[in-house]
Structure 1
């Protein structure tokens, strides 16, 4: 039985920097794919010296003495990752290209994957305040798209859902510890679902963008909607959910995704937005944890990241914040939040989860009530004993009661 072909879309939005003509359809000769050159050069970007707001919020220097992601491989299934950028040099492994066969994943015509990878692993450089949250992690590029946002619409080639599923499996089979999926399908595809299960069963942490179609009714996004995948929404510098960021039970937590600074292909930086760029902050945190606490399973890593999220304005009000705002420092340093049990499914947290502060207040009130009841019982029993003794002792004296054994 045939089924319609579903193609994934990138989950990033333009920030006025990637407006280019639409890309042509790939030519085919004798059944072979012809690998085209990038038809349009991306706008040259200058290096940015000022610290971007996510950098100020998370301050990776606090984490550096503890964890840097060293020894951890993060697969970036995206538009490719340009290893020529000075901050990504020596951090990008040989990957694969499922869009143009024969490539190693280092070709990026859109700049999307390069930006995502830089949030994870861009190296510190003198005079540049921006660098990745897990700067010693290795990036494994898996190229599946060259989409760009043109006048508010995605334009460009991308693989089919079956090939996207193959990309996930390829990353797992090439030793990825974490897989970042800043790509969205708006249909439940059995091959992709099977590939996600394949990764979960092999103890890989999966992180996916929650999508940018809030104004279009929040259609169900995949892979974020699958069990075992951490779904990530976006916030701005004010901590409030970005207007485009989707809401639903598939949002496990939120991270910076508006006015985010990333590396641009070649050199320099540019500002972008979208849940695409929120997901790699979470993937980087997973890399920090996998390096710092290698005994934790993928499920335990996910649990810890979600359990240590900071409260957000919309938590408990269906505001699309999931458990709250990502806090990498708490995720790495707090000792609780993980059990020694075996792997299990990680399900999305509902948006109506109670505010942790409210739960704490309720616990304190219940404790105070229990103490009051205990004091009341003790006081009541003491009073009853006094009354009883007042009645019994005079009678005993009159009847000359003596302790047992006394002459």
Structure 2
């Protein structure tokens, strides 16, 4: 696979771009001219599309209703001091919930200088150099799930609402991002001081071992950065393949779950999946203000990145400071499981934010399959007794004695009364 392998975004926000890319792909004739393949839609529901700005979402989204936020934020200061790099389509800071969440000075636009053009010959503008331009809305949604600040007239808020977002623009509606620009973005995020990196996209095709992208991922992991990536949306097609960078060692690969804590039908499955997180009907911030609903593993990944940011905030100081491996293992260990161990559909289970932040008495390096597994000494089987047991015999004899004694007393008492009445009748003057 060439270094310029295209990368794709994993959400429903790019349906139109996918159609255009598919038309262009039909004209490709060489590997070097390979056009971008945008991820298949997570849902056929077109109601998730919206224009910018959008109306604010009044209530509390279901993905947040499943979390006791006060308990989640109890000892984490809501992620304050933690920096999360969002490598995506940019993050629009005109949305009031993101204005104070984004470090624009640290942001970067790494979109290729000559972005791809659609079939009309129009290329998406590169936008601001600091990565705060987002024509698609994808990166703005991702950032909101992680660190959107509380606001009036909406119950939506990020899981780590005091964390700081580093916006890194690396892709656009035409799929101009490549494996090379994604690798550069990861390296830049590390240099910019990211504690967590969120990547809600994947390459259109598998990459060769030891590719530039894999090397960039490994450098980030070695720098003690938690790298979170979406698993992809090819589940409906039943494709059994690995996605990158989610499949690389050290990356926390996130699938999508629904309201029933089950794998969303579109979510990519595979042994590389580590955990699942809400990815259906996900409410989040959009450019210019307001909120929209979308589906995809693109929005499951930032849900987990938000939890990782809270863990970093809680365990980022002192001699017992947790490494990125500790944080990844904690998220996996405390996930809600349907089986004792790892599952190819949802990994170690559906992430449980509160459990991850409260069941943290000691740090671990790897998750352990323990739920539902018998570890105690097995009880000694009871002896099979075909006849009457000694206890049953004693109870039976005791019953006989009790009933017999009562009967004897009654007989004696009755006999005494009869004898007394007989004496009275025979000797009327006799003393009773």
TM over 0.5: yes
**CA distance, structure 1, for counterparts of residue 301 and residue 129 of structure 2:** 25
Q: CA deviation at 1:215?
A: 2.6
In structure 2, the gaps of 5 or more residues are: 25-49, 112-125, 382-432
In structure 2, the residue corresponding to 1:58 is in which secondary structure?
coil
* Pairing 1:5-404 to 2, within 5 Å after superposition: 5-14=4-13, 42-67=51-76, 68-94=78-104, 95-99=107-111, 100=126, 103-147=129-173, 156-185=174-203, 186-189=205-208, 190-216=211-237, 217-294=239-316, 295-312=321-338, 318=343, 320-336=345-361, 338-339=363-364, 356-359=370-373, 362-364=374-376, 367-369=377-379, 372=380
**CA distance, structure 1, for counterparts of residue 95 and residue 291 of structure 2:** 10
Contact 1:261–1:269, Cα closer than 8 Å, also in 2: yes
In structure 2, the residue corresponding to 1:262 is in which secondary structure?
strand
Contact 2:52–2:289, Cα closer than 8 Å, also in 1: no
Contact 2:56–2:153, Cα closer than 8 Å, also in 1: no
In structure 1, the gaps of 5 or more residues are: 26-40, 148-155, 374-407
Q: CA deviation at 1:157?
A: 3.4
* Bigger mean CA offset, 100-109 vs 204-213: 100-109
* Bigger mean CA offset, 221-230 vs 328-337: 328-337
Query: In structure 2, do the counterparts of structure 1 residues 278 and 146 end up closer, same or farther at CA, with 3 Å as the change threshold?
Result: same
**CA distance, structure 2, for counterparts of residue 335 and residue 363 of structure 1:** 21
In structure 2, the residue corresponding to 1:71 is in which secondary structure?
coil
Contact 1:15–1:271, Cα closer than 8 Å, also in 2: no
Give a deviation string over 1:231-283, Cα, whole Å, max 9, x none.
00001112111000011111101000011101111111010000000000110
Give a deviation string over 1:169-213, Cα, whole Å, max 9, x none.
000011000000001113225000000011011000000000001
In structure 1, the residue corresponding to 2:372 is in which secondary structure?
helix
TM-score by length of 1: 0.75
Contact 1:42–1:110, Cα closer than 8 Å, also in 2: no
**CA distance, structure 2, for counterparts of residue 310 and residue 112 of structure 1:** 28
Contact 1:303–1:337, Cα closer than 8 Å, also in 2: no
Contact 1:123–1:136, Cα closer than 8 Å, also in 2: yes
Query: In structure 2, do the counterparts of structure 1 residues 3 and 124 end up closer, same or farther at CA, with 3 Å as the change threshold?
Result: closer
Query: In structure 2, do the counterparts of structure 1 residues 315 and 80 end up closer, same or farther at CA, with 3 Å as the change threshold?
Result: farther
**CA distance, structure 1, for counterparts of residue 67 and residue 137 of structure 2:** 24
TM-score by length of 2: 0.71
Count of aligned pairs? 330
Query: In structure 2, do the counterparts of structure 1 residues 315 and 6 end up closer, same or farther at CA, with 3 Å as the change threshold?
Result: farther
In structure 2, the residue corresponding to 1:87 is in which secondary structure?
helix
Give a deviation string over 1:74-129, Cα, whole Å, max 9, x none.
00000000111111111101200011386101000100000000000001112210
In structure 1, the residue corresponding to 2:100 is in which secondary structure?
coil
Query: In structure 2, do the counterparts of structure 1 residues 318 and 62 end up closer, same or farther at CA, with 3 Å as the change threshold?
Result: closer
Contact 2:330–2:360, Cα closer than 8 Å, also in 1: no
Query: In structure 2, do the counterparts of structure 1 residues 54 and 101 end up closer, same or farther at CA, with 3 Å as the change threshold?
Result: closer
Q: CA deviation at 1:310?
A: 1.1
Rg (Cα) greater in structure:
2
**CA distance, structure 2, for counterparts of residue 262 and residue 50 of structure 1:** 12
Q: CA deviation at 1:3?
A: 3.2
Q: CA deviation at 1:319?
A: 5.1
**CA distance, structure 1, for counterparts of residue 226 and residue 91 of structure 2:** 20
Q: CA deviation at 1:141?
A: 0.6
Q: CA deviation at 1:219?
A: 2.6
Contact 2:84–2:194, Cα closer than 8 Å, also in 1: yes
Aligned structure 1 segments of 4 or more residues deviating by more than 4 angstroms: 18-23, 314-319
In structure 2, the residue corresponding to 1:109 is in which secondary structure?
coil
